[in-house]
Amino acid sequence: METLKKVVTNQYFPAGAVLTAVVLFWVVGMLGGLSLLNNNQPPLTTLTWMLFVYAAAVLTPLAGLLAAVDLVRRWRRNRAAAPVLEANLSSGAGEALEPEASPAQPAVSQQAPAKPQRPGRQEAA
């Protein structure tokens, strides 16, 4: 149960699930998922199925592209943050993660404040 909870709360899970569903949809479609059109069905059933497949065929590539972009963005952000986190942890476990101001630096910096990054799912929990 704990393993399932870790998987579901992982920051990569939503985009990974969408990408998996898109790939599964296209694999089933390529392997004969449109067989409903070969059966003798009422016209309304056939029309509903065709509209569903048409909408899915149009929307799934877009959803897959957005999911892939999100996965790559999260992976790159975590990869870039790993050395910073490792340096902060190696400097002292009990110390604050923010660097302290040295006496040579003024308390108020003249530089524009850095844009705060939103925490990932693991950092927010």
Q: Which domain holds residue 71?
A: 30-78
**Domain presence at residue 114:** no
Residue 34: Cβ within 10 Å count: 13
Domains: count for the chain: 1
Structural domain contains residue 110: no
16-74 pLDDT tens trace: 888 898 898 888 877 776 666 667 778 888 888 888 888 888 888 999 999 999 999 99
Average pLDDT over residues 92-110: 51
End-to-end CA distance of the chain: 18
CA distance 100 to 102: 6
Tokens representing 8 are: 């579901």
Question: Which has the closest alpha carbon to 70: 24, 121, 116?
Answer: 121
In this predicted structure, what is the pLDDT of residue 29?
79
72-96 pLDDT, tens digit each: 999 899 888 888 777 777 776 544 5
Q: Is residue 70 part of a domain?
A: yes
Q: In this structure, is residue 6 part of a structural domain?
A: no
Query: In this structure, is residue 60 part of a structural domain?
Result: yes
The reported pTM is 0.52
